[in-house]
Amino acid sequence: MSAVDFDAAHAIEFLDQVFGDVNSGLISISHLTPQGGMRSEHFQWLRFAAAHAAEWDAQRPPGIYFRVTMLPPEGVKGGRGGSDDAHALPFLWADLDYGDAGHKPPAGGLPLPPDEEAARKIIADMPTPTLIVHSGGGLYPIWKFDHPVYITEANRAEVKTRSQDWQNMIKANAEQLGWHYGSGVGDLARMLRLPGTVNRKVAGLERPCRVIEQTSEVLTW
């Protein structure tokens, strides 16, 4: 297997690491279509999700993604659902793009961090992530909770606020260092590249998306 082949075992292991403790709901994965749209499917079993991702990868899409929150067991009417469709939140995350390969110059004047070492400085003073994923064009630090947070109408506003507060803290760290951090990253319908897949955003430059670090650290809600 070359470094840019789809790795189904890696995808299954990752999905189990982040969603394996959730006892209800659907895993949502999506891929970019040649027309620039996004197609989404939802699965009760993570192995089915990984198998579907493998079928999509055979079409060599620019990217295959997973939704950071699980959907309710009954699913959603269409697409990947919105933030109000979030059923379970197993972790918090960051989306640290760096360099210029595959990234448009950010609006607002601040540049992206130039390299991985610089991107890591943004979270240097934060709790140790449970996982760090290399997306092929950046890093996804993931802070898993000791127990998944199940979202109801009673706590939905609080979950949205706490997710956004986490992203605001990361954004403030980045700007203090003179770097750009994206907006909307804390949305409960956020999609991130699925580890085990291939980043083909830049034509002729295939890059693997893989977990590169793992610890036993978790957060308490």
pLDDT digits (tens, 9 = 90+) for 144-169: 999 999 999 999 999 999 999 999 99
Instruction: Report the CATH architecture of 8-214.
Output: Alpha-Beta Complex (3.90)
- Give the bridge partners for 220, in sequence order: none
Q: Mind listing the pLDDT tens digit for each residue in 32-77? A: 887 778 999 999 999 999 999 999 999 999 999 999 999 999 999 8
Q: Where are the chain's structural domains?
A: 8-214
pLDDT (mean) for 172-186:
94
Reported as a single tens digit per residue, the pLDDT across 183-198 is: 889 999 999 999 999 9
The first and second tokens of residue 205, run together, are 């430059």
User: How do beta strands 198-202 and 131-134 pair?
Assistant: unpaired
What is the arithmetic mean of pLDDT over 104-113?
85
User: For 200-214, what is each residue's pLDDT tens digit?
Assistant: 988 888 999 999 999
Give the C-alpha separation, 96 to 170, whole Å: 9
- What pLDDT shows up at residue 1? 45
- pTM, two decimals, is 0.94
Task: Please list, residue by residue across 123-160, b when 16 or more beta carbons sit within 10 angstroms of its beta carbon and e when fewer do.
Answer: beeeeebbbbbbbbbbbbbbbbbeebbbbeeeeeeebb
Those residues whose C-beta lies under 8 Å from the C-beta of residue 76, and which sit 6 or more positions away, are 42, 85
Q: For residue 103, what pLDDT band results from cuts at 50, 70 and 90?
A: confident
Cβ–Cβ under 8 Å, residues 193 and 135: yes
